[in-house]
């Protein structure tokens, strides 16, 4: 904590607060921003206790493969020339991509981002499984068995059981590119992970130094074990049968079924005319009109994803000041607007930003546009101070 305390007086740039968002392409991981630098003062006590999993093992070449990117793990005494030769890549291309000279000695276990894919890890390269590490998916065997069971009866054929091919599973971590002025501590606070875990995953030195242009893997959270199912005798009273209601064994008593007095006729409705404009007391307006494709879930999705047509204007949810404009690790713009009452709104996964930092915006003013293709949605967050809150009550 000595290193952390020595940096408490440093006001980190707001783009540290939002630069890690674009795991949105997968939309499977929690999207969380560290906006504590805006409000003045912060604490890392929550990040310090977040348990993270160990980094996956690499194959004999040092390659770890994910669906969207691959990285190599440096061996002791390696340079980028050695890594490039081992993987069949151009050393100069690898050096430019990682922002370091090709002949500079690398630390053991240092992460090297690959500019393009190499052959996938497999048992032939010393990996336990074949292919990239993917999230756990639906049991294909179960689905196939169900389809076969429901298929019409045909002439029997002889079948043979094929051996199972092991598939690597896990969570694809965010790949963060270090920007000028960032440190391991600001990056760890941004993603709410312990700085030591960040160092272990990326082979950082004892001083936790990082360089501009370096790629870092953000440690993923350790998965909690499944809850243990209690048997009938684990807890007194657990699993006891629901008592049979009396009405199931005895007839109901006789009751007076005389109808009550007739209700008075309702008064005729008075036509006051339709209002000229629907009134709303909503604290915020929707940034786009579209369908919500992902709801707010604290710790998993810190905002809502709203999909609309590509090129749709993304509007400010309320009047305020543009607090920051930054980009994700993939270069996708993110806009943060500060409003009254210490309220912040975040607009991520957008393009064609039409405002600048420090600009004053009106409620409903266009500030950006939606991207093309299947990325035509905005990830919208509401922050009270630096804590994310459910945007829905503010929009109703």
pLDDT for 218 equals 92
Measured over the CA atoms of residue 359, residue 332, residue 307 and residue 394, the dihedral's sign is: negative
Q: What's the pLDDT band for 396 if we cut at 50, 70, 90?
A: confident
Cβ pair 388, 302 in contact under 8 A: yes
Residue 73 DSSP symbol: E
HSE-CB at 136 with a 13 A cutoff on CA atoms is: 2
Cβ pair 83, 127 in contact under 8 A: no
pLDDT digits (tens, 9 = 90+) for 178-202: 988 889 999 988 888 899 999 999 9
Contacts of the segment 44-50: beta carbons below 8 A, 24+ positions apart: 44/4, 44/188, 44/189, 46/192, 47/188, 47/189, 47/192, 47/193, 47/194, 48/194, 50/192, 50/193, 50/194, 50/221
Q: Where is mean pLDDT largest: 117-126, 241-250, 258-267, 313-322?
A: 313-322
pLDDT over threshold 80, residue 61 = yes
> 255 — phi, psi (to 5°)?
-130, 155
pLDDT over threshold 90, residue 375 = no
Q: What's the pLDDT band for 224 if we cut at 50, 70, 90?
A: low
pLDDT over threshold 80, residue 264 = no
Cβ pair 157, 147 in contact under 8 A: no
pLDDT over threshold 50, residue 389 = yes
pLDDT for 30 equals 46
pLDDT digits (tens, 9 = 90+) for 335-344: 999 998 888 9
pLDDT digits (tens, 9 = 90+) for 2-59: 443 433 333 343 344 444 443 333 444 444 455 554 544 444 444 444 678 888 888 9
Residues 78, 63: Cα–Cα separation, whole Å: 14
Distances in whole angstroms, Cα of residue 253 to Cα of each of 36, 246, 247, 250, 282: 66, 11, 10, 9, 52
pLDDT for 248 equals 53
Nearest residue to 197 via CA among 181, 178, 221: 221
Q: For the chain, first and last CA: distance in Å?
A: 43
pLDDT for 48 equals 43
The better pLDDT of the pair 212, 268 is held by 212
pLDDT above 70: percentage of residues in the chain: 64
Residues 73, 165: Cα–Cα separation, whole Å: 25
The mean pLDDT value for 216-232 works out to 64
pLDDT for 167 equals 63
Residue 35: CB partners within 8 Å, gap ≥ 6? Answer: 14, 17, 18, 336, 344, 346, 383, 385, 386
Three-state DSSP state, 64: strand
State if pTM tops 0.95: no
pLDDT digits (tens, 9 = 90+) for 288-341: 988 888 888 887 888 899 999 999 999 999 999 998 888 887 788 899 999 988
Degrees to nearest 5, angle at CA 295 with 291 and 299: 155
pLDDT for 33 equals 53
pLDDT digits (tens, 9 = 90+) for 131-183: 888 765 444 334 344 444 554 554 454 544 445 555 666 778 888 999 888 89
The mean pLDDT value for 68-96 works out to 92
The mean pLDDT value for 230-259 works out to 57
Q: What's the pLDDT band for 270 if we cut at 50, 70, 90?
A: low
Mean confidence (pLDDT) of the chain:
75
Cβ pair 182, 8 in contact under 8 A: no
pLDDT above 90: percentage of residues in the chain: 33
């Amino acid at each position: 904590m000595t290193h952390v305390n020595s940096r408490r007086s440093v006001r980190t740039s707001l783009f540290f607060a939002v630069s890690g968002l674009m795991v949105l392409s997968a939309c499977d991981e929690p999207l969380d921003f560290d906006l504590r630098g805006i409000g003045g003062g912060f604490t890392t006590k929550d990040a310090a206790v977040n348990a993270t999993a160990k980094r996956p093992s690499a194959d004999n070449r040092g390659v770890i493969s994910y669906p969207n990117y691959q990285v190599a793990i440096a061996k002791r005494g390696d340079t980028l020339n050695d890594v490039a030769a081992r993987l069949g890549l151009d050393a100069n291309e690898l050096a430019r991509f990682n922002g370091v000279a090709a002949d500079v000695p690398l630390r053991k276990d240092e992460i090297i981002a690959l500019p393009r894919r190499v052959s996938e890890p497999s048992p032939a390269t010393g990996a336990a499984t074949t292919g990239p590490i993917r999230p756990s998916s639906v049991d294909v065997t179960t689905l196939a068995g169900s389809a076969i069971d429901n298929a019409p009866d045909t002439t029997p054929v002889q079948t043979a059981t094929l051996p199972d091919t092991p598939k690597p599973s896990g969570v694809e971590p965010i790949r963060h590119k270090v920007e000028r002025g960032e440190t391991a501590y600001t990056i760890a606070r941004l993603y709410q992970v312990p700085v030591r875990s960040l160092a272990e995953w990326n082979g950082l030195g004892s001083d936790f130094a990082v360089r501009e242009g370096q790629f870092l893997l953000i440690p993923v959270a350790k998965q909690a074990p499944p809850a243990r199912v209690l048997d009938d005798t684990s807890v007194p009273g657990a699993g006891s049968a629901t008592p049979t209601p009396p009405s199931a064994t005895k007839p109901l008593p006789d009751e007076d079924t005389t109808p009550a007095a007739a209700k008075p006729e309702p008064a005729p409705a008075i036509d006051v005319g339709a209002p000229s404009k629907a009134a709303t007391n909503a604290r915020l307006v929707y940034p786009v009109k579209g369908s919500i494709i992902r709801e707010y879930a604290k710790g998993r999705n810190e905002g809502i994803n709203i999909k609309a047509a590509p090129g749709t204007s993304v509007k400010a949810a309320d009047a305020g000041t543009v607090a920051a404009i930054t980009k994700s690790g993939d270069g996708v713009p993110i806009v943060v607007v500060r409003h009254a009452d210490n309220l912040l709104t975040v607009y991520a996964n957008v393009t064609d930003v039409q405002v600048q930092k420090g600009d004053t915006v009106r409620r409903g003013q266009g500030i950006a546009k939606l991207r093309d293709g299947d990325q035509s949605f905005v990830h919208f967050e509401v922050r009270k101070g630096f804590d994310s809150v459910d945007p829905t009550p503010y929009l109703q």
